[in-house]
Amino acid sequence: MPTVAHLVSSYVRELPHLEQFIERDLVSFHRLARYLSPRLSADLGREVEEGAIVMALSRLRDKMGERRSEQQANPLWGQIQLSLREGAVEIDLRKGARTEEATHRLRSLLDGSPDDIFNIVSGQYEITLITSAKYEKKFLQALKGENVIHIERDLSFLYLRFPAEILYLPGFYERVLSELAWENINVFELVSTLNELILVLKAKDAARAYDLLRHRLKEKPAQKEKGAKSKSEK
């Protein structure tokens, strides 16, 4: 039989950003308890006291803090290297009979510059090309006859380079993306290799995303004073 704590945790996960609000102590637990109470009582088939819900939320917040502190204390986070590269464009194609062949021939149009950007992401029905903006006209000319469904300009790459071991840390991708979503920074594409995660962002957001992740991913876990009450419990 489900418990109050189990159901409260489940409800919180359903609501976008609520976990982050709770972890940052920005939510009144008493008000949230009143909001969750009717559903909780219905699911359990009995009335649930507000205090029990507040206690479940408090314990959930503490578990979130412990999980984040344990995660942040891992020395692998400190080994993440970030870098930015500007001037990219994304070209999206609908797959046709020869689209795969046409896109792979594009590599011959590159001039060999070490700063070149060229990535191909092939889905079941579409292909996405991400390349340096200077190649846009050449590529579109070479792809004449293909079904170009979208072009996104003014893009930048944010590179996260890390030890391969970090891929075995649960929540790595979620942590990176949630930090950006919290600051209303949109990610257009994700490209990953064994030791790199590449975020494709609008150029106007790239510098802010770089600074945000540089500070948030490498910050030391905060120590909470024993016996201190949070605002959410008052």
Rounded to whole angstroms, how far apart are CA atoms 123 and 142?
21
* pLDDT score at 23: 81
Distance between CA atoms of 22 and 232, rounded to whole angstroms? Answer: 8
pLDDT at 58 over 60: yes
78-216 to CATH, choices 3.90.420.10, 3.40.228.10, 3.50.50.60, 3.30.2130.10: 3.30.2130.10
* pLDDT for the residue numbered 161: 94
Q: Which of 15-24, 38-47, 201-210 has the lowest mean pLDDT?
A: 15-24
From residue 148, alpha-carbon distances to 46, 99, 120, 135 in Å are 57, 10, 14, 15
Following DSSP, what letter does each residue of 51-100 receive, concatenated? Answer: HHHHHHHHHHHHHHHHHHHHHHHSTTGGG-EEEEEEEEEEEEEE--TTHH
- pLDDT of 229 reads 58
pLDDT of 222 > 60? The answer is no
Q: What is the pLDDT of residue 117?
A: 87
- Give this prediction's pTM: 0.71
Tokens at 76, concatenated: 């692998």
Q: What is the average per-residue pLDDT within 205-224?
A: 81
Contact present, 84 and 146 (Cβ < 8 Å) = no
Mean pLDDT for the chain overall: 87
User: Could you count the other beta carbons within 10 Å of the beta carbon of residue 126?
Assistant: 15
pLDDT in tens, 103-124: 989 999 998 888 888 999 999 9
Q: Lowest-pLDDT range, 119-123, 131-135, 209-213, 228-232?
A: 228-232
CB 32 within 8 A of CB 58: no
Q: Is the pLDDT of residue 141 over 90?
A: yes
Query: What percent of the chain has a predicted confidence (pLDDT) above 90?
Result: 55
Q: Quote the pLDDT of residue 230.
A: 60
Considering the chain, what percentage of its residues have pLDDT values greater than 70? 91
Name which of 87, 86, 8 is nearest 54 in CA terms.
8
Task: For residue range 160-207, list pLDDT tens digits in order.
Answer: 999 999 888 888 888 899 889 888 999 999 988 899 999 999 999 999
pLDDT recorded at residue 19: 81
CB atoms within 10 A of CB 21: 16
pLDDT of residue 221: 52
Q: Are strands 147-161 and 81-94 parallel, antiparallel or unpaired?
A: antiparallel
**Partner residues linked to 121 by β-bridges:** 128
3-state secondary structure of 110: coil
Q: Which residue has the higher pLDDT, 53 or 15?
A: 53
